[in-house]
């Protein structure tokens, strides 16, 4: 079965850090560009970051640039998102998703990040 | 990186059609045929319904169709069914594999 499974979310204080992981299975992970998308409580989807197939190129939404770092380990079929200097507005469900022909065809179930003191 | 503009809500009776618009700029929707649409039920992950403006992935009913004119894309759901009640989001490439999502539309089946 083709799937993405996120982990690593939780409750963290403002200014704290977390590392999210996304384990891919059921397909060949390495050729695909991968993305993180988040959704605040009761809010819409927001694109966060992307990484190319070999990890040599990354980009970020302006709201997270300088605080978030996307990476991948193709040998472990895993995508990561290191999130630092967390703010209340970063509270959201974080989804990893696979890009195929400029669309997101596979999504994980999401992992919740709550930033609160 | 401003969100694409969608109407907050749309509705229709079973069997009717509903069309959702998605307005961007020449830097995203108007610049690429990379518009996609996603259906999201409460508490669930989004599901791809339309890619590359008008292509339906395998398993998506042909009641769902997409189109684009200039900086505005549209999703039409024909023959509305109860299970179509959900939130719908558009997305567009904005160059270099960067993306932007729409503000989302809640579709209600009356």
For residue B57, give how far its alpha carbon lies from the nearest alpha carbon of chain A (Å): 9
Determine which of A104, A105, A106, A112 to mutate to test the interface with B (most B C-beta atoms within 10 Å): A104
Contacts of A20 (CB under 8 A, 6+ apart): A6, A7, A8, A9, A36, A80, A81, A82, A83, A94, A96, A111, A113
Assess A33–B contact: CB distance below 8 Å, yes or no: yes
Question: Using an 8 Å Cβ cutoff, are A115 and A14 in contact?
Answer: yes
Question: Using an 8 Å Cβ cutoff, are B2 and B89 in contact?
Answer: no
E strands present in B47-104: 47-50, 64-69, 72-77, 86-93, 99-101
Contacts of A1 (CB under 8 A, 6+ apart): A25, A26
Instruction: Please identify which residue in the block is written with the tokens 């990893």.
Output: A96
Assess A75–B contact: CB distance below 8 Å, yes or no: no
Q: What pLDDT score was predicted for residue B42?
A: 96
DSSP B4: B
Instruction: Give CA–CA dist A29/B108, Å, rounded.
Output: 37
Instruction: Give CA–CA dist A117/A64, Å, rounded.
Output: 20
* Closest alpha carbon within chain B to A109: B45
Average pLDDT over residues A99-111: 97
Q: pLDDT over 90 for what percent of chain A?
A: 100
Instruction: Give CA–CA dist B64/B56, Å, rounded.
Output: 8
Token digits of residue A30: 């390495």
Question: Using an 8 Å Cβ cutoff, are A72 and A79 in contact?
Answer: yes
For residue B92, give how far its alpha carbon lies from the nearest alpha carbon of chain A (Å): 8
Mean pLDDT, all residues of chain A: 97
Give contacts of A100 with chain B, Cβ < 8 Å.
51
Instruction: Give CA–CA dist A75/B105, Å, rounded.
Output: 39
Which of B45, B51, B99 minimises the CB distance to A109?
B45
Assess B91–A contact: CB distance below 8 Å, yes or no: yes
Instruction: Give CA–CA dist A84/B104, Å, rounded.
Output: 28
Average pLDDT over residues A82-90: 97
Instruction: Give CA–CA dist A32/A52, Å, rounded.
Output: 7
Assess A45–B contact: CB distance below 8 Å, yes or no: yes
Contacts of A92 (CB under 8 A, 6+ apart): A38, A39, A40, A41, A43, A46, A112, A113
Which of A33, A37, A62 minimises the CB distance to B97?
A33
Contacts of B104 (CB under 8 A, 6+ apart): A44, A45, B6, B8, B87, B88, B89
Q: What H or E segment, with its residue span, contains residue A21?
A: strand A18-25
Q: Which residues of chain B have pLDDT under 70?
A: none
For residue B35, give how far its alpha carbon lies from the nearest alpha carbon of chain A (Å): 8
Assess A37–B contact: CB distance below 8 Å, yes or no: yes
* Closest alpha carbon within chain A to B58: A105
pLDDT digits (tens, 9 = 90+) for A46-64: 999 999 999 999 999 999 9
Q: What pLDDT score was predicted for residue B95?
A: 82
């Amino acid at each position: 079965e083709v799937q993405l499974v996120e982990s690593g979310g939780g409750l963290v204080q403002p200014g704290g850090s977390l590392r999210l992981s996304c384990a891919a299975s059921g397909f060949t992970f390495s050729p695909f560009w991968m993305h993180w998308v988040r959704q605040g409580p009761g809010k819409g989807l927001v694109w966060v970051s992307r990484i190319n197939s070999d990890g040599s190129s990354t980009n970020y939404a302006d709201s997270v640039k300088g605080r978030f770092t996307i990476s991948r380990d193709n040998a472990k079929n895993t995508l990561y998102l290191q999130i630092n200097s967390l703010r209340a507005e970063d509270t959201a469900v974080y989804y990893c998703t696979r890009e195929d022909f400029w669309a997101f065809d596979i999504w994980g179930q999401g992992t919740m990040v709550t930033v609160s003191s | 990186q401003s969100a694409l503009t969608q109407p907050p809500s749309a509705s229709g009776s079973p069997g009717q059609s509903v069309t959702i618009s998605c307005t961007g700029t020449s830097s995203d929707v108007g610049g690429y045929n990379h518009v996609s649409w996603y259906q999201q039920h409460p508490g669930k992950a989004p599901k791809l319904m339309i890619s590359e403006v008008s292509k339906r992935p395998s398993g998506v009913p042909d009641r769902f169709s997409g189109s684009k004119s200039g900086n505005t894309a549209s999703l039409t759901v024909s023959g509305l069914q109860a299970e179509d009640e959900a939130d719908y989001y558009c997305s567009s490439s904005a160059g270099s594999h960067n993306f932007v999502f729409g503000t989302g539309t809640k579709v209600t089946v009356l």
